[in-house]
């Protein structure tokens, strides 16, 4: 009898653990600072625990706290869709047939620039390279910080948008009508995914414990979501990764 009870308890624990690992539950949200335009890229950076928001409609980067209050803003060049960085500098990308990747300082001045893959929609950085997504090719590209292509893979979904790096995997937002956010290996295999009920997830960011995404459909909110998937990077790894931005 005792063995049977133990088996039931053990099974319940496994199922509870599985449920927790699936993630995707919204735990917080606030209106995008670009709600009057079209929210696009999203980035998170420590040590100030700020989110950075861009829109191709305004070409302004807004810095907010995690409650959504704007603490800073400055211009960015071009038709900006993707953003990465936050402590000392930013990487941004523009979406056009002859797109550009910019490295800018925290006041918006351009430090360097080079060609981007056509119709670049998202950008992030690991310890040594840039990753760039395109909704025209629906590919994710790995590039040097001087602009040379190193590798690429086909993305899941059909409308690749924002990107972020969590120290081990890539997060990719898909801006299609049946929108999802994916956690991917560096070769494109899906580790985990969740549906975006609002649709049109344009930007995505990892804060070390949660996933944030921005949607450009009404009411144009930014959402904080529980993470799931095998081997979710611990908070300490996410914060360490952010220090290299």
CATH number of the domain enclosing 181 = 2.120.10.30
Instruction: Report the pLDDT averaged over residues 208-229.
Output: 90
> Mean pLDDT over all residues of the chain?
84
pLDDT on residue 235: 38
Is the predicted pLDDT of residue 232 greater than 90, yes or no?
Answer: no
What percentage of the chain has pLDDT greater than the value 70?
A: 84
Instruction: Report the pLDDT averaged over residues 99-122.
Output: 95
Query: Which of 16-25, 126-135, 224-233 shows the highest mean pLDDT?
Result: 126-135
Asked, for residue 45, whether it belongs to a domain, the answer is yes
Asked, for residue 2, whether it belongs to a domain, the answer is no
Who's near 85: CB < 8 A, 6+ residues apart? Answer: 43, 45, 52, 91, 125, 245
What percentage of the chain has pLDDT greater than the value 90?
A: 67
pLDDT on residue 1: 39
pLDDT per residue as tens digits for the range 117-138: 999 999 999 999 999 999 999 9
Token pair of 101, please? 């990747």
Domain that holds residue 218: 26-243
Is the predicted pLDDT of residue 14 greater than 50, yes or no?
Answer: no
pLDDT on residue 9: 26
pTM: 0.84
Asked, for residue 9, whether it belongs to a domain, the answer is no
The Cα–Cα gap between 209 and 228 comes to 10
Asked, for residue 12, whether it belongs to a domain, the answer is no
Which of the four pLDDT bands, split at 50, 70 and 90, describes residue 177?
confident
Edge-to-edge strands, sheet with 160-165: 160-165, 170-174, 180-184, 190-195
Long-range contacts of 188-193, Cβ-Cβ distance < 8 Å, separation of 24 or more: 188/140, 188/153, 188/154, 188/155, 188/156, 190/156, 191/229, 191/230, 191/231, 192/23, 192/227, 192/228, 192/229, 192/230, 193/156
Compare 15 and 135 and report the one with higher pLDDT.
Answer: 135
Instruction: Report the pLDDT averaged over residues 199-212.
Output: 93
The Cα–Cα gap between 40 and 210 comes to 19
Instruction: Report the pLDDT averaged over residues 204-227.
Output: 93
Is there a contact between 51 and 222 (Cβ–Cβ < 8 Å)? yes
Number of structural domains the chain divides into: 1
């Amino acid at each position: 009898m005792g063995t049977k009870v133990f088996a039931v308890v053990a099974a319940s624990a496994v199922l509870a653990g599985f449920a927790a690992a699936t993630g995707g539950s919204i735990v917080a949200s606030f209106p995008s600072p670009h709600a009057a335009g079209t929210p696009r890229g999203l980035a998170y950076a420590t040590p100030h625990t700020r989110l950075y928001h861009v829109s191709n409609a305004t070409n302004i980067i807004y810095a907010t706290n995690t409650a959504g209050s704007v603490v800073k803003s400055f211009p960015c060049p071009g038709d900006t869709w993707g953003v990465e960085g936050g402590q000392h500098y930013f990487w941004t990308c523009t979406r056009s047939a002859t797109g550009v990747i910019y490295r800018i300082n925290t006041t918006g001045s351009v430090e360097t620039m080079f060609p981007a893959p056509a119709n670049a929609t998202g950008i992030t950085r690991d310890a040594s390279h840039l990753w760039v997504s395109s909704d025209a090719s629906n590919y994710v590209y790995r590039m040097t910080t001087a602009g040379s292509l190193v590798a690429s893979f086909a993305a899941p979904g059909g409308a690749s948008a924002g990107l972020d790096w969590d120290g081990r995997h890539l997060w990719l937002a898909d801006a299609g009508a049946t929108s999802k956010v994916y956690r991917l290996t560096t070769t494109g295999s899906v580790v985990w995914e969740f549906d975006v009920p609002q649709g049109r997830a344009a930007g995505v960011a990892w804060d070390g414990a949660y996933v944030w995404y921005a949607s450009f459909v009404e009411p144009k909110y930014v959402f904080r979501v529980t993470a799931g998937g095998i081997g979710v990077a611990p908070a300490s790894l996410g914060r360490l990764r952010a220090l290299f931005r």
